Structure 1
Amino acid sequence: MTEQNFPRLKNDQILRAIKGDDVDKVPVWIMRQAGRYLEEFRELRKKHDFFEICQTPELACEITLQPINRFDLDCSIIFSDILVIPQAMGLTVEMRPGVGPVLPQPLTDPSHMSRLKMPNVEVELGYVGKAITLTRHKLEGKVPLIGFAGAPWTLMGYMIQGGGSSTMAQARSWLYKYPNESHKLLQMITDVLVDYLVMQVKSGAQLLQVFESHGNFLNDELFKKYSLKYFIQINKEVKRKLSSLNIPQVPMIAFPKGATLNSIEIFAKEAGYDVIGLDWTVDPKDIRERVGPNITLQGNMDPCALYSSEEEVRQRAEKMVRDFGKHRYIANLGHGILPDTPIKSVEAFIEGIHSV
């Protein structure tokens, strides 16, 4: 699919911010912006299983468009889940109410890696590509569309833990007990991710984001060995494969949530990503000083701050823009929006960003 087949883009503020061009207003989007805080999402979710939605392009498209139809956002992100990768590699993933994702048969030791397969991404994850293509057409050029994936270490954590964890103790113990096998697993995941991200661009994604949601469990040593190494490889290989297919490059966003300031500084110098997403623990002025003026930053209001009064949300949003500055900056939350966030607070957040 080539850009000539899609409607002309009308709002390119986020792409301008990434390149370092002047913007009319700071672009803003929200992680998990298509989600449970929206009544229309909850209504659709009553009728369909979570992964049924992910695997049905028409439903994934409908949900992707819900926040775009409701709010003055500057970007959309395809509705999917990072755990479609472990599914495609042969593991069962269930979304259990009140619990979240569960992998009932995790990789409890390296011998279980024999259960994994290397999928044909175009076939087994083709539904994501179809959803992206459909959504690009339905957006009618209103805003760009982000494709995404989970980073290798984050996916490894789920695959070993069998779900979320407050410690990631089993997954972290692999890094010490089974370093060679850990690298083998991370490499397998990386190889699938590269093909998956390339497929998303071929289908019409205009940006890519790679989520390292478990970066907070790694110190600087482990981050460099088991996260940064594979981020670098993903960036290089995606660009190489797109070039070999004569497909234009797209901006790549990395979100190393919870990584130390030292790790983020190293990441900015070595990883080669266009944008670094930041969680709410990072001070805007401090991180800008560390990474320099030539990296675009994204973030980073605490999702819980949206429970403030509407006026305070608006003021916090304005302050965040002033602290980051309008040059090379994309406004967002420091993690995904929470399920019971008030709609009025979302509106106030976006208004505050756009008012500066």
Structure 2
Amino acid sequence: MAEPLLVRAARRGPVERTPVWFMRQAGRSLPEYRAIREKHAFFEVASTPELCAEVTLQPVRRHDVDAAVMFADIMTPVLGMGLDVRLVEGVGPVVDRPVRTMADVEALRVPDPEEAFAPVLEAVRLVRGALRPDQAVVGFCGGPFTVAGYLVEGRPSREFAVTKRLMLTEPAVWHALLARLADTFAAYVAAKARSGADVIQLFDSWVGALSPAHYRTYVAPYSARILAAVDVPTIHFGTGTATLLEEMAAAGGDVIGLDWRIPLDAGWDRVPDRAVQGNLDPAVLLAPWERIEAEALDVLARAAGRPGHIFNLGHGVLPSVDADTLTRLAALVRERSAAPVPA
């Protein structure tokens, strides 16, 4: 069986065209997803294999993208650690009892993934069985800093002041927390890969809040542990990370995700021995088609046919984006990148 296009690109091998998928492609931008959510809560969908698989496959059928990203939340594995998490509309993940002491950390368990995440793993198997051989299943987990930030702050934050204070004034507590998260997440993504995930992405969405020195000391070893836990290709992603690209690459990842704040070619020059993913600004998809087309073609031009480019947004699809725009964009990338790519 031929390897999925995304897998070959992640390994910087020859591909017939640039693979394309979109972070957060499964979800609120799709009317068929909203119809399911009228009857089922988020975590009910994510923990019911048939519903999870259906929502995961909806954008693949509609947009004909090259990957299905498993429908889940970065807090999903945290539920298996014994913490209660609420997803509050317009806010995000909320933890009513934040993790701020060594006793709080020691109360977190590292679960057996085959038991704690059995519905998620069954959904992976269902999705893999429904896809064509050239399409990939992307499994993911949250990055250690981002998830720790939610646990320590108790809710999303822009400054991560409470998180950084813990990190810098209680380093033993911080390292114990990140070690426990890394152990859980490594087992979680390894189980996903065994169940059929072709690629694993580490979403450390808010790690750009850190300086390179703090990232290197307080986060990189734990990201490295997670990324090294699987044999399939890995994507290492964060936002606001223009100052961290070399550090992220050193921590691991066959592919480095680039957000829209750095030109794709400039970002790639910083990590020349890796594939890259990105990096159209998600807000561009709210513009007229002529502007979307021009900016998407600029991304492709900056990639210049170099082996190892995966077309994506610089972050997730905004809920207000017209689903037909994503379909049209995926078709544009397929058509305009179809020339042979040199090995």
TM-score normalized by the length of structure 2: 0.93
CA distance in 2, matches of 1:52, 1:58: 11
CA distance in 1, matches of 2:121, 2:205: 23
Which structure dedicates a bigger proportion of its chain to helix? 1
Match of 1:254 among 236, 247, 258: 236
Does 1:298 find its partner at 2:280?
A: no
8 Å Cα contact 1:161-1:170 kept in structure 2? yes
Q: Which residue number corresponds to residue 64 of structure 2? A: 72
Moved more, 339-348 or 164-173: 339-348
8 Å Cα contact 1:309-1:345 kept in structure 2? no
Does 1:318 find its partner at 2:300?
A: no
CA distance in 2, matches of 1:322, 1:16: 20
Match of 2:196 among 204, 208, 215: 204
Mapping for residues 186-265 of structure 1, pairs under 5 Å:
186-236=178-228, 238-239=229-230, 249-261=231-243, 263-265=244-246
Moved more, 96-105 or 148-157: 96-105
How far is 1:169 from its partner?
1.2
Runs of 4+ aligned structure 1 residues displaced above 4 Å come to none
**SS state at 1:208 partner:** strand
Report the identity percentage: 34
Mapping for residues 5-44 of structure 1, pairs under 5 Å:
8=1, 12-44=4-36
RMSD: 1.6
Q: Which residue number corresponds to residue 96 of structure 1? A: 88
How far is 1:100 from its partner?
2.3
**SS state at 1:146 partner:** strand
8 Å Cα contact 2:141-2:185 kept in structure 1? yes
CA distance in 2, matches of 1:252, 1:304: 26
Which amino acid letter does the alignment assign opposite residue 218 of structure 2? Y
8 Å Cα contact 2:84-2:96 kept in structure 1? yes
Match of 1:174 among 166, 170, 176: 166
CA distance in 1, matches of 2:240, 2:170: 24
CA distance in 2, matches of 1:351, 1:235: 31
**SS state at 1:166 partner:** coil
How far is 1:41 from its partner?
0.4
Q: Which residue number corresponds to residue 287 of structure 1? A: 267
Q: Tell me the alpha carbon deviations over residues 49-93 of structure 1, each in whole angstroms, 9 at most, x when there is no partner.
A: 100111100000000000011012111111111101221111101
**Closer/same/farther in 2, CA of residues 176 and 89 from structure 1, 3 Å limit:** same
Q: Tell me the alpha carbon deviations over residues 284-316 of structure 1, each in whole angstroms, 9 at most, x when there is no partner.
A: 222222222x31000111110101111221121
CA distance in 2, matches of 1:298, 1:218: 21
CA distance in 2, matches of 1:46, 1:141: 32
**SS state at 1:172 partner:** helix
8 Å Cα contact 2:236-2:248 kept in structure 1? no
CA distance in 1, matches of 2:47, 2:156: 22
What are structure 2's unaligned runs of at least 5 residues?
338-343
Does 1:267 find its partner at 2:248?
A: yes
8 Å Cα contact 1:83-1:155 kept in structure 2? yes
CA distance in 2, matches of 1:226, 1:305: 34
Moved more, 157-166 or 57-66: 157-166
**SS state at 2:235 partner:** strand
What are structure 1's unaligned runs of at least 5 residues?
1-7, 240-248
Q: Tell me the alpha carbon deviations over residues 255-284 of structure 1, each in whole angstroms, 9 at most, x when there is no partner.
A: 0322243x212332x223210111111122
8 Å Cα contact 2:5-2:134 kept in structure 1? no
CA distance in 2, matches of 1:14, 1:86: 28
8 Å Cα contact 1:214-1:257 kept in structure 2? yes
TM-score normalized by the length of structure 1: 0.90
Match of 1:133 among 125, 128, 131: 125
How far is 1:149 from its partner?
0.5
| Number of corresponding residues | 335
CA distance in 2, matches of 1:171, 1:128: 29
Q: Which residue number corresponds to residue 3 of structure 1? A: none
